[in-house]
Every structure is written in C-alpha cells, then in structure tokens.
Chain A
C-alpha cells in the first residue's frame, strides 16, 4: 500500500469513529436529564460530526476516485466501516452515554494531542481544531461521572453496570494494525502505546476516586480496524443510509 492510500484509510477510520458517536449522540436531542444537558449533548454530537466531515474530505482528496465525503459516509457497508465498537454501543441510559463519552474523550484527548505533531500537515491541522473541542468534552463527561459516581447509590449502581458492559470495547482502541505501525514510523500516525499509558493512568486514577472496580476476566472485543463490529452497526447504517440507498439518483 502506498503511503497516500494508508493515510486515506487512517483518516477514514478516524472519521468513522467520530461519525458513529455523533449519530448516537444526535438521537439524544431531547432526552438529556435536563433540557440544558440535551443542548450540551447535541453540541458534542455536532463537534464529532464536524470532525468526521473533515477527515472524510481529506480521505476523499487522497483517494481521488471521484467519491466525496458523503459517498464515504453513505455508501459503505458494515464491514467497510472501521470505527471503534465502543461508539456503536447504545444509549441505554445516561450512565452508558456519559461513560461511553468519557472513555472516548480520554482517548481522544491524548490521541489528538499527539496527532497535532503529525508530520502530515492536514492531519495535524484537523487535530489542532479537534483538540479544543475534545478538551471541553473531556471536562464535561468527567464532571458528570463525578456526579453519578459520588451522588446517589442508584446512580453509582447504574454507572457500575455501564462499566461492566462498556469495558469490553476498550482494549481494541489501543491495538495497532499494519497501517498504524507503518505511519507511526513515518511520524504521521500516533504511537498507540503511549496513548494507552496516558489513558490508563487517567482512567484508573479517576475510577479509583469513584470507587469503581474495573471488570476483570471479561470478553474483550477486537478487530475494529478489520471491519469487525457488534450487531448494532448494521442497524445504525440502515437508518443513516436509508435515503441515499433508496433513491440512488437523487441529490439532497
């Protein structure tokens, strides 16, 4: 694979994770615990959608195969999507939503901080814009977890339940594939090992403050970079891609 192709694939999967998370959050436009929080959640959704769009635009430019950012989003199938399986997980309750967000925010915070120094100027520029948004997301989700973890017993239990479910989808975020390794050696991609160290330091320390037990001996999903998914992604794409698929000739 040429470097250009690898960067396109790399940008596409960063876009995939942003897009699917944005999609999940968008549905909460009126389901926050307060109306204020609904507005906050849609802000975060919009930030992720903006990130997805710029990553796809860059990928489209590199691919130079005539497909634009909308084609990338709306005309690929499940196995062609390379998003983290974590972001496909449902909006079961506010504990799921906030924990999912926190786990991704902590990842993004360290990941995009590092990507700002990428030798690829476009990726560095996208990361520089994203990191400003991510800092706020991270603060937002962390503050909410404090209020769930240290508030009522009911909230703590729901958070604990969400953790048992979501922890299964954390490990694969740090598993590099050939593209990660090749691009990292060129100073383009982020070194996942160091992101993992920083992420674990933050998350473990925070969870111990919240007295949350990290689940042990549980299933760990893998293969998001090879198009592996939970059954949920197919339904997300069905809904999202319905119009462009049903009316292939229409322009919207």
Chain B
C-alpha cells in the first residue's frame, strides 16, 4: 500500500467510527486537523477554567459569611481541578502542559472572553455562578458527547461536579433579591453587567463561525453556537423573572411561533475587542497568571532536584 492508500483507509475507518458514535482514543489514527482542532479547543477550555478562578478569587477573602466563604473556596478549587482534568486530557494528544502554559503566556492560546470582565461586588459572585457557569454548563453538557474519548470522560466528570456551581450563584442572587434595598440594587447591577458578556460566551453566530462546521462534522462540537445560546436564554429568563431581576434587553420577548425567546443584537464589536486582548482585564489576568507561574519556579526546581537526588541515592544502594 502506498502512503495515500494507507491514509484513505485510515480516514475511512476514522469516519466510520465518528458516524457510529464510537469514541476516538489517544492511540487511534486521527487526521492532523482533528488533532489540532482538539488541541486548540481543549487547551482553551482548560485555560478558561484556570483564568476563571481570578474574578471569583477577587472576593474569596471578602465572602460575607462562613458558609458562603466555604462554598466559594470549594467552587474556585473545583475550577482549578477542572482545569487539570482538561490539561491531562489534552496532553494525551501529544502536547505537554508546559507547552500549553507557554502558549497561554505568549498570547497564542485563548481563554473564554468572559473572564476579562471585573468582579465589582459580592453580587457578581452570584451572577458569575448563575449566568457564567450556567452558560458554561449548557455548553459542557453538550460536550459530554464529544467524539474524543479523554475529552468526553473529562467533561462527564466536570459536569457531575459543576452541578452545584450554578445553584450556588442563583442562591446568592435569590438571597440578595430578598434582602435590603442595597442588596437588590447590587444584584440588578451585576445582572446588567454580566448578561451580555454571558451570551457572548457561546461564540460568534453560526454564520461567522467557520471552524464550527468541521468540528460539528467530526462531532467534537455537538450543537451549534446559536442553538446553545438560545437554550441558555430560554432557561435563564424564567429564573430571572422568578426573583424579580430585569434582563437588560428591551427586545427580549417570548415568540409563540418559534417557542423560544427573541433577543436583541449582541455587541459583536465588543466581543472581538475582548478576544483580541483589548478587554477590561485581559492584561491583569494574564499578568497574574504569569507572575504566579514565575514565582513558583524555584519551588519546582527544588522539587525536581530533590527527586533527582533521591533517584541517585537509590541507584547507589542497588
């Protein structure tokens, strides 16, 4: 068999598996473009979990009760853990974690645009849990069925653990809406600032998302950006109304015909600005990550040196 014939045979088998809903495993043959798409998407997903710790971490030491403090610490910690699950899963594609982190620091790898907005009040912690995690969960539930085995397994684990995150956020919003006038104002203000960026989390509209189609064909992505966005809006609207929050979109209306909510125009210019690194907190988020990575270097060096010495000592004994 010549190379081309071999390639076609592999490709056919790969496509058969995708068609049959079988998972692709790390040692299976896969097209380069499939591998590269996964490397990009999974590392972006991992970075989002990790950078996403920062806006919440901004309030970790100002949580107003022992209970809320405990929950917030646990939630931020989960995000670190989920970042790790995703890095490990992405490493099965043959790229090391060091490389992923380096790409992040060099600005070559992206993370979700949402984490470039500042968290300004305690109600933001509620809004992040309810809206941001709510949007993330819609996307992640869909990704449990992704075609790459390690990614799918990581997503199943993550979805199981994240089920409490959105409730935690909504609970904060409920408590604040049932609280004092100041608290209600804080909650509405957070809603106003986080609503639109949350909708942007699903990415550009399907017409403007060229990579999406191929990812759908390979079943890396299972549902389109617009479909997921609509799903999120439909379920979140009732929750907002139930506690008396106003969604900051005058065009938002129930549409009997489509059985979905119609909504207003998303500010895509803002979205692309943030994606290109010109959002309110892009610089701070990245600098913070780089700084703590650099500060840890001497510790990692020492741990490696210790490991090396122990191995040598063991060899001498043998």
Contact = CB atoms under 8 A, between A and B. Distances in A.
Interface of A: 23, 26-27, 29-39, 42-43, 45-46, 49-50, 52-53, 56, 69-70, 73-74, 93-94, 146-148, 150-152, 154-155, 158, 239-240, 242-244, 247, 249-252
Contacts of B299: 33, 94, 147-148, 155
B163 to A, nearest CB: 19
Q: How large is the interface on B (under 10, 10 to 19, 20 to 34, 35 or more residues)?
A: 35 or more
Nearest to B310: A150
Given A27-B61, A30-B80, A35-B83, A151 B295 contact: no
A36 B84 contact: yes
A26 B74 contact: no
B162 to A, nearest CB: 15
A29 B59 CA distance: 12
A56 B66 contact: yes
19 contacts: A26-B60, A26-B73, A27-B60, A33-B299, A35-B83, A35-B87, A42-B73, A49-B70, A50-B70, A73-B66, A93-B295, A94-B295, A146-B306, A147-B306, A151-B305, A154-B301, A155-B298, A247-B183, A252-B179
Contacts of B182: 247, 250
B74 A46 contact: yes
A31 B180 CA distance: 36
Chief secondary structure at chain A's binding surface: helix
A39 B50 CA distance: 11
A121 B296 CA distance: 43
B53 interface: yes
Given A26-B61, A152-B302, A49 B80 contact: no
The 8 closest A-B CB pairs, nearest first, are: A151-B302, A33-B296, A155-B302, A33-B299, A243-B64, A252-B64, A42-B77, A151-B306
Interface in B43-61: 50, 53-54, 57, 60-61
B76 A42 contact: yes
A74 B61 CA distance: 12
A50 B74 CA distance: 12
Contact of A43 (B77, B289, B292): B77
Nearest to B305: A151
A250 B77 contact: no
Nearest to B49: A35
Contacts of A247: 180, 182-183
Nearest to A152: B302
Interface in B208-232: none
B62 A239 contact: yes
A74 B305 contact: no
Contacts of B309: 150-151
Contacts of A39: 77, 80-81, 84
Given A35-B84, A243-B122, A29 B296 contact: no
A215 to B, nearest CB: 22
A251 B63 CA distance: 12
Contact of B122 (A36, A152, A252): A252
A191 B87 CA distance: 48
Nearest to A43: B77
Interface of B: 50, 53-54, 57, 60-70, 73-74, 76-77, 80-81, 83-84, 87, 122, 175, 179-180, 182-183, 288-289, 292, 295-306, 309
A53 B63 CA distance: 14
Contacts of A53: 66, 70
B154 to A, nearest CB: 15
A213 B146 CA distance: 56
A114 B81 CA distance: 35
Query: Which of B54, B66, B289, B303 has the largest count of A CB atoms less than 10 A from its CB?
Result: B66
A55 to B, nearest CB: 11
Nearest to B182: A247
B112 to A, nearest CB: 16
B30 to A, nearest CB: 27
Query: Which of B87, B288, B298, B304 has the largest count of A CB atoms less than 10 A from its CB?
Result: B298
A249 B303 contact: no
Given A29-B73, A50-B70, A150-B309, A251 B175 contact: yes
A31 B66 contact: no
B248 to A, nearest CB: 24
Given A151-B304, A252-B122, 10 more contacts: A29-B57, A31-B295, A42-B77, A49-B69, A50-B70, A70-B66, A73-B66, A150-B306, A158-B298, A247-B182
Nearest to B307: A147
Contacts of B61: 23, 26-27, 239-240
Given A29-B77, A30-B54, A42-B76, A252 B65 contact: yes
Given A46-B70, A50-B70, A247-B183, A29 B65 contact: no
Contact of B66 (A36, A69, A147): A69
Given A93-B295, A243-B62, A35 B80 contact: yes
